[in-house]
Structure 1
Amino acid sequence: MVVVIGSSNIDLTATVDRLPARGETVLGQRFVQSFGGKGANQAVAASRAGAEVRFLSKVGADAHGDLMAEHLQEEGLSQQVLLRDADASTGVAMILVDGAGDNQIVVVPGSNHRLTAADVRQHAALMADARVLLVQMEMLPETVEAALLLAKQHGLTTILNPAPACPLSPDLLKLVDILTPNETEVRTLTGMTDPSEGAHLLALQGGGIVVVTCGDEGAFLSCGKRRTHVPTFVVEAIDSTGAGDAFNGVLACALAEGIEIESALEKASAAGALATTTAGAQASMPGRRDIDRLCQFGTKRIRRQ
């Protein structure tokens, strides 16, 4: 059982030939409204990979909130607690995707920043009999810390995806078993440009196991004195939106099944790669069969030293 506590957004995505420079206007080719938010994305990713998922989030009492509630019900999550806030709009993400699959994203949190530590404690029953908690930083830091503390009290393995990156207190880091920044976030958190070195520094600061995801360069694992490079898989990428969320959701699923960290990271890497082959966030979350097939038959891209 995986518990995911986090954001729910409506994504507004425009496809462009190239991402605009500062102050520049470019014409787009396509516009799509879809479902996103790191919390919801990761919950859906874990569920499609085969996990039983309990999801806690907050949306507005608006049409976007209605759409999200209906969508998550159709996704068949084991249990969802979707709180409603009459004084805030449902979160929105505005996304630009270029021809190479790279993106720029602006998130307006809305109701996501109204999910409180008290809300988390009120729904502590979600932790019962679960094995893994997965949270992100699209909530208030005190809400994240409350979720991590509650999970540790219930004996869960805790995963924090520190996105978007912001300062992490030592007290919060002590509650994290696995920290999963991407290469941009690890640079923000540590000031280091080398992802392997950044992962090692975060581990020394109390981040437990640190996994830095680096797109087609794979991922770097740091645990104590052990450092491991996890290669990614060769795919035809069209949109990187949601790839990190697929990685985190499937990592949580694999760990909840008792899979060792290196094998769990391979499944997560396959999921992240597959997510880049489909446009959109939640629409791109792969199913278990495709993940297992890529792990078995796919070609890994090995980083040259």
Structure 2
Amino acid sequence: MSTRLPALTVVGSINLDIIATTDRLPTAGETIGGGVLQQQPGGKGANQAVAAARLGGSFRMIGAVGNDAQGRQMLEALSSAGVDTSDLAVLDGAATGTALIVVDRDGENQIVVCPGANSAFSLEGVEFAPDEAVLCQLEVGLDVVLEAARKSSGFFVLNAAPAMDLPAELLERCDLVIVNETEYELIPALADAKLVAVTYGKDGSAMFEHGRKVAEAPAVSVAVANTIGAGDAFCAALVLALRSGLPYSPALAVANAVGADAVGDPSSQPALARLDAYVARVGATTT
């Protein structure tokens, strides 16, 4: 595997996560007391960009925050993690995106996202280098994701979350789609996609080419503290592992190990080792 990680740009959401931790998740109409409240940086896009930066290398984040205290807090968190924020938009008249999250003692969660500035930015003036991998999610407008797909000529990845119907043009452009098992079932068109990585929680992950399983890797057993940022850390790690030359199965194993570290951390943007440490941990080698 190359010691120099490839350039990666994340186009996506930036949120303030407001998290209530309780013994169990409430049912419809139920009020549960005794919660513990905390606030921290989040958003699928920002989580993936921070994970990529902590894994090591050169990373850029494209997205938007409001011109408010929360937006300044999110920008500081990204910059402190080593993410290039020079192409982030600060929008007057728009609130910074916010996610309201309830987490139970087992790390399971319920999330409501209020997009704010995430739904109000464009890629006007943004360019992508030919050798630059681009990673998007669906917490920003679908039109922005499509524009990123059209502008990018390099390795283009979509984390298709939250699940929704995807235009044929977007799916055809994707070099890789990453979803969890529920999202895979909710998006039937993925069965025909050229390359799809699917996560199965404690059952590991697998890679599919046009609906045919071509690789898999087991999960890493770990005590669960918080599942919010685990999928995002997995996405960043998988893209970097594949672009660094690892075959499918070792790349999945590396991403599983990174996701396991994320699950064991209570933060949406967990502390991570460098990517080569995970490569060594799973004994991965290039072909």
TM-score by length of 1: 0.85
Q: Residue type of the partner of 1:215?
A: G
Q: Residues of 2 paired with 1:28 and 1:212: CA distance?
A: 36
**Identical aligned residues as a percent:** 37
The equivalent residue for 1:216 is 202
Q: Which moved more, 1:73-82 or 1:39-48?
A: 73-82
Given candidates 6, 14, 26, the residue that maps to 2:12 is: 6
2:51 to 42, 45, 55: 45
Q: What is the CA deviation profile of residues 205-264 of structure 1, one whole-angstrom value per residue up to 9, with x for unaligned ones?
A: xx2201111111111211144433321111111211111000001112223323233222
Please give the per-residue CA displacement for 1:133-187, whole angstroms capped at 9, x wherever unaligned: 1000011111101101111xx3x11110011111101111001111111112122
Partners of 2:220 and 2:213 in 1: how far apart? 23
What's the offset of the Cα at 1:270? 0.8
Which residue of 2 is the match for residue 265 of structure 1? 252
Gap change, CA 1:28 and 1:104, over 3 Å in 2: farther
Say if 2:222 is the partner of 1:231: no
Are the aligned partners of 1:14 and 1:28 in contact in 2 as well (CA < 8 Å)? no
> What is the RMSD computed on CA atoms of the aligned residues?
1.8
Residue 292 of structure 1 deviates from its aligned partner by 4.2
Q: Are 2:250 and 1:244 aligned?
A: no
SS of alignment partner, residue 265 of structure 2: coil
SS of 2:245's equivalent? coil
* Whole-angstrom distance in 2 between the partners of 1:295 and 1:35: 30
Secondary structure in 2 aligned to 1:64? helix
Q: For 1:68, give the aligned amino acid.
A: M
Match for residue 4 of structure 2? none
| Change beyond 3 A, Cα 1:94–1:294 | farther
Q: Give the alignment's TM-score, normalised by structure 2.
A: 0.90
**Structure (1 or 2) with the greater helix fraction:** 1
Please say if residues 2 and 130 of structure 1, whose CA atoms lie closer than 8 Å, have aligned partners that are also in contact.
Answer: no
Structure 2 stretches of 5 or more lacking a match? Answer: 1-6
Deviations 1:93-151 (A, max 9, x none): 111111111111111000000122xxx24111xx2254311000011111101101111
> Partner residue of 2:83?
77
Give 1:20's aligned residue: 26
Q: Is the contact made by 2:75 and 2:85 (CA closer than 8 Å) also made in structure 1?
A: no
Aligned to 1:160: 158
Structure 2 CA distance for aligned equivalents of residues 294 and 98 of structure 1: 30
How many angstroms apart in 1 are the aligned matches of 2:248 and 2:216? 12
Give the counterpart letter for 2:209 in structure 1.
C
Q: Which residue of 2 aligns with 1:303?
A: none
Change (3 A) 1:220 1:292: closer
Could you tell me how far 1:9 is from its partner in structure 2? 0.5
The change in CA–CA distance for 1:67 and 1:99 in structure 2 (over 3 A counts) is: same
Aligned length: 276
